[in-house]
Amino acid sequence: MTNIGMRIYTKINRPSPDLISQFEGLPVPVIADNMNRMFCMDARIRPFNDKKLLGSAFTIRTRPGDNLLVHKALDLAEPGDILVVDAQGDLTNAIIGELMALYAQKRNLGGLIIDGAVRDVDALRHLDIPIYAAGVNPRGPYKDGPGEINVPINCGGAVVNPGDILVGDQDGIVVINPADAEQLLIHSRNKLASEEETKKEIANLDWDRTWVDKALISKNTVIQ
């Protein structure tokens, strides 16, 4: 018999490290533009230090204010995994703080994303592991459960499945299905190259702006 709401799945399909590493250096907005501006976590999920995030998702769903399953995930996750915690956006209790983040860093995890609160912010800013969360609260968590590990979750309004590729910078986080990764890499690299050309055009005041008036005319805009 299964215990719904209190389940842990230890085996997930992770993308290859080589595939993940190819997203290094690609800005999140460039990737997102090539996903029709979809599949981004919303602005509530913000960075708490300047470490860029790249890895595959190790997902946790937990009751608001409780981190029992997050503690278990810290021991189960493999180096490079990013813990993604669906705490339902509740900010009443912090889900992680300095000690748990230090442990994640020591185990070489790829990052922590909490759709909930964190604490010990001054310490988190100086750690060498990417940390994103929806807010801050000094009140500590409970450790009673329930919760589940490595199930589909919602984090910041985006569906995240175990093994999804996550890329994060100061603009936010984009969620990538590994099946889409190869094609997305091609399109994102092409867009990045195009933006570099546009920067050169701007530097020479040679940026083609005619599309603006064309768009306005197509909408019957009145200019007086």
Integer Cα distance of 206 and 215 in angstroms: 19
Q: Is 99 annotated as a binding residue?
A: yes
Contact 94, 119 (CB under 8 A): yes
Greatest pairwise CA separation for the chain in angstroms: 73
Sign of the alpha-carbon dihedral angle for 96, 98, 104, 110 = positive
Sign of the alpha-carbon dihedral angle for 28, 126, 60, 17 = positive
Nearest to 133 by CA among 167, 77, 95, 176: 95
* Amino acid symbol at 60: I
Which residues in 97-171 belong to E strands, given as ranges?
Answer: 111-118, 131-136, 147-149, 153-155, 158-160, 165-169
Write out the two tokens for 77: 């996750």
Q: Is 196 annotated as a binding residue?
A: no
Integer Cα distance of 56 and 4 in angstroms: 25
Beta bridge partners of 132: 47, 113
Q: Is 100 annotated as a binding residue?
A: yes
Integer Cα distance of 176 and 41 in angstroms: 11
Q: Is 122 annotated as a binding residue?
A: no
Q: Is 24 annotated as a binding residue?
A: no
Residues marked as binding? 97-100, 119-120
Which residue positions form the known binding site for substrate?
97-100, 119
Residues of the binding site for Mg(2+): 120
